[in-house]
């Protein structure tokens, strides 16, 4: 089992790409440029935090058993935090010893090129006494590995928002008496604010009036809804990752679809779960499986397919079969003019080598890209002549960039190096 686990980590490293301030060895991390701050505060991303505590000037991790919590999930960022006391002193030796302590309890971390590393020097302490009171240690930002329980919870989450009834009230009827629509008492669903991700339920009383409205869902990263509304694509093939913790983004897709189902914008829907619970060592590029499709634009039918895909698989080792899903949809809907990939920015593509088989430009909606975009998705857009879409920007013309050229996306800069995008700096 240990050999199998090691092989899995090595395969992950081979498919991974440079992402953020990447490193694959302790020496790589030691030469990173320090970030200076008065007092350390973790970056406010929507990740869980594992804090490994150390004493001032010590490499010993006081709570090393806690690493098990994060090591089974997807690690996004690691901060090495220390104080600038004595001021201006080189702490390379101490940092190296602290990294060795981390390597001892979790060596696979250093095989993952997707991790963003930071060296944080706190400068507020002017005496040893005040320096000892500051935080010292390692902070790991991660997403927990999905379990059967968390998958069931995500399915319940979606069901709680989108009530599975075949009777519904169009949003434009929200201000009229319910008795003009139906005399039947019960719960109905509608979207009271089409320009937001807020979903509400309406209850119809015996008198036929709306009795109450309850807000069920809102999510700070409304990238799916925002991008779809901003671009108004038609004749779409939508390919969606439904693994891991993608349910907030899936909810946005369904919310958008309910408001646009009569427009015929969606022709084909495909979702994938990376293999239907298949063991990681049995997943073959292009034949991983866990692909679900429906040629429909009604959101309840799409919800049923998504729920089935989520129930049958949750992703496994962190890599996903995005291209396999795209190729399946491409075959099913050759007349679809716009291929939209709703991608988990956390997860690398295990099958990126198959991108050359995609016949049309892929428009990639990046979910969870607040700390930078996974360069694999930039590569996919460039290879297919497609584009990358964040909540703020539509990044097009990536295919026109040549070796050595750069593109700025938000506060991050990416350069083509060796034929692939790498993250080179934060503006």
DSSP string, 395-415: E--GGG--TT-EEEETTEEEE
pLDDT on residue 14: 37
DSSP 145: P
Residue 389's H or E segment, with its range, is: strand 387-389
Query: What letters, b where the CB count within 10 A reaches 16 and e where it falls short, cover 305-315?
Result: bbbbbbeebbb
pLDDT at 317: 62
Which residue(s) pair with 270 in the sheet?
Answer: 239, 293
User: Beta 137-143 vs 48-53: how paired, if at all?
Assistant: antiparallel
Q: What is the pLDDT of residue 119?
A: 96
Enter the DSSP assignment of 320. B
Mean pLDDT by 10 residues, the chain (427 residues): 41 38 75 93 77 96 90 86 94 96 93 85 95 95 81 78 48 38 39 37 45 47 91 95 86 84 85 84 88 85 90 75 96 96 91 96 93 92 97 94 94 92 76
Separation between Cα atoms, residue 270 and residue 285, nearest integer Å:
18
- Name the token pair of 196: 């937001």
81, 85, 91, 97 alpha-carbon torsion, rounded to 10°: -60
The predicted structure's pLDDT at residue 199: 40
Distance, in Å, from the CA atom of 327 to the CA atom of 251, rounded to the nearest integer, reads 24
Q: Would you state the structure tokens that stand for residue 83, as one six-digit string?
A: 């104080």
Task: Provide the pLDDT for residue 211.
Answer: 41
pTM of the model: 0.74
CA distance 91 to 104: 20
CB of 247 closer than 8 Å to CB of 157: yes
CB 387 within 8 A of CB 377: no
Q: CB neighbours of 416 closer than 8 A, spacing ≥ 6?
A: 382, 401, 402, 403, 404, 405, 406, 422
Cα distances from 140 to residues 39, 119, 121, 137, in angstroms, run: 17, 12, 16, 10
Who contacts 154 (Cβ-Cβ below 8 Å, separation ≥6)? 245, 247, 310
What is the distance between the alpha carbons of residues 393 and 9, in angstroms, rounded to a whole number?
A: 34
């Amino acid at each position: 089992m240990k050999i199998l686990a090691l092989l899995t980590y090595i395969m992950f490293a081979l498919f991974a790409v440079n992402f953020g301030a990447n490193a694959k060895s302790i020496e790589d991390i030691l030469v990173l440029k320090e970030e200076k701050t008065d007092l350390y505060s973790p970056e406010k991303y929507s990740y869980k935090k594992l804090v490994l505590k150390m004493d001032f000037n010590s490499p010993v991790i006081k709570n090393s058993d806690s690493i098990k919590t994060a090591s089974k999930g997807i690690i996004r960022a690691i901060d090495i935090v220390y104080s600038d006391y004595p001021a201006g002193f080189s702490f390379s030796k101490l940092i190296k010893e602290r990294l060795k302590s981390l390597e001892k309890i979790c060596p696979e971390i250093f095989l993952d090129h997707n991790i963003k590393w930071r060296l944080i020097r706190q400068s507020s302490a002017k005496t040893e006494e005040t320096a000892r009171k500051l935080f010292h240690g390692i902070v790991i930002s991660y997403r927990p590995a999905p379990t059967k329980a968390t998958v069931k919870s995500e399915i319940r989450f979606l069901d709680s928002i989108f009530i599975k009834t075949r009777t519904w009230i169009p949003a434009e009827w929200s201000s009229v008496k319910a008795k003009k629509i139906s005399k039947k008492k019960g719960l109905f669903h509608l979207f009271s604010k089409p320009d937001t991700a807020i979903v509400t339920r309406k209850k119809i009383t015996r008198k036929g009036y709306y009795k109450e409205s309850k807000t069920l869902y809102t999510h700070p990263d409304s990238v799916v809804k925002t991008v779809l509304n901003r671009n108004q694509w038609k004749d779409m093939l939508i390919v969606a990752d439904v693994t891991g913790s993608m349910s907030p983004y899936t909810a946005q897709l369904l919310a958008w679809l309910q408001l646009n189902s009569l427009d015929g914008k969606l022709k084909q829907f495909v979702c994938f779960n990376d293999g239907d619970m298949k063991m990681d060592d049995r997943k073959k590029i292009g034949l991983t499986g866990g692909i679900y499709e429906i040629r429909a634009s009604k959101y309840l039918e799409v919800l049923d397919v998504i729920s089935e895909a989520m129930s049958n698989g949750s992703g496994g080792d962190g890599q996903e079969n995005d291209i396999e899903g795209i190729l399946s949809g491409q075959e099913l809907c050759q007349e679809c003019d716009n291929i939209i990939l709703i991608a988990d920015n956390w997860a690398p593509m295990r099958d990126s080598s198959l991108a050359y088989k995609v016949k049309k430009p892929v428009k990639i909606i990046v979910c969870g890209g607040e700390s930078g975009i996974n360069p694999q998705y930039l590569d996919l857009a460039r290879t297919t002549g497609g584009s990358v879409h964040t909540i703020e920007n539509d990044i097009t013309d990536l295919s026109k960039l040549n070796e050595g050229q750069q593109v700025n996306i938000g506060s991050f800069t990416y350069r083509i190096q060796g034929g692939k995008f790498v993250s080179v700096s934060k503006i």
